[in-house]
Amino acid sequence: MLISIAAAAAPKAANPYGLMEALEQGGTIAWTVFLILCAMSVGTFYILFTKLIEQQKVINQGKKVRATFWRSASLKEASAKLEKNSAYKQIVDDGIKAQDEHGKLTDPVEAHDWLHGSLARSEAAINSSLGGGLAFLATVGSTSPFIGLFGTVIGIYRALIKIGAAGQASIDAVAGPVGEALIMTALGLAVAVPAVLAYNFLQRRNKSIAEQLNGFTVDLLAYLVSNGAVKPSVAAAPAAAAAKPAAAATKA
């Protein structure tokens, strides 16, 4: 009875085939592979969260623009109402600047072509900024499995050396190196999968934002080349909505 109680109270032996034990057995190469994969994983989640915040800002700016921008009396007044460093404000300011500079050109250039080129450059700069960091995610997603595979190959190589030195393939001789090899493979996949998912998710959101920016740029170009005569249909929606109650009151 006392022996069984003492055995139950004794602490469990540490797992000799855990992650830290595998890294210690693998030596410098295993630690190097592990640290590289850790750096890749940290970079992946950092880019994911920072890009999500950046994208959400642009999405919120787009909602505000659709709600209030085209109700202003002039573009300069509308631009002043936009947030500082807003993506939409950058496009509007570039359009106003291009319109002012068109008259200073010595060679005749169509206003439409000049404004279209200026707005396209501004839109491309914003899209390029939103795409920053995605190349890192693509690189991590494609290379981290191979980095883990490198650790796997080294682990198997060490297992073969132990088998050759011992003269027989005993479990206790090869369990450590083979376990290290499997751990490195798992780590490579654990880093690659979130990177690929994050890349695809952010790319899809960037595509949606680019479509919204392009639609706004087209509306802005039409407004500029028509001297304010052409506005998006959403600008007339509030007026139409307000006219309905007035007509109903007149009939009453």
The gap from C-alpha 148 to its chain's centroid, in whole angstroms, comes to 24
Q: Cα(13)–Cα(15) distance, rounded to whole angstroms?
A: 6
CA distances from 9 to 1, 3, 16, 230 (A): 12, 10, 21, 83
Which structure tokens are listed for 189? Answer: 């996949």
Tally of CA atoms within 13 A in the half-sphere of 221 that contains its CB:
19
| pLDDT tens track for 158-201 | 777 776 766 665 666 566 666 677 778 888 899 999 999 999 99
Q: Is the whole model's pTM more than 0.85, yes or no?
A: no
| pLDDT tens track for 17-51 | 556 666 666 667 778 888 899 999 999 999 999 99
Tally of CA atoms within 13 A in the half-sphere of 150 that contains its CB:
12
Give the start-end residues of each E strand in the chain: none
Instruction: Please say whether the beta carbons of 79 and 55 come within 8 A.
Output: no
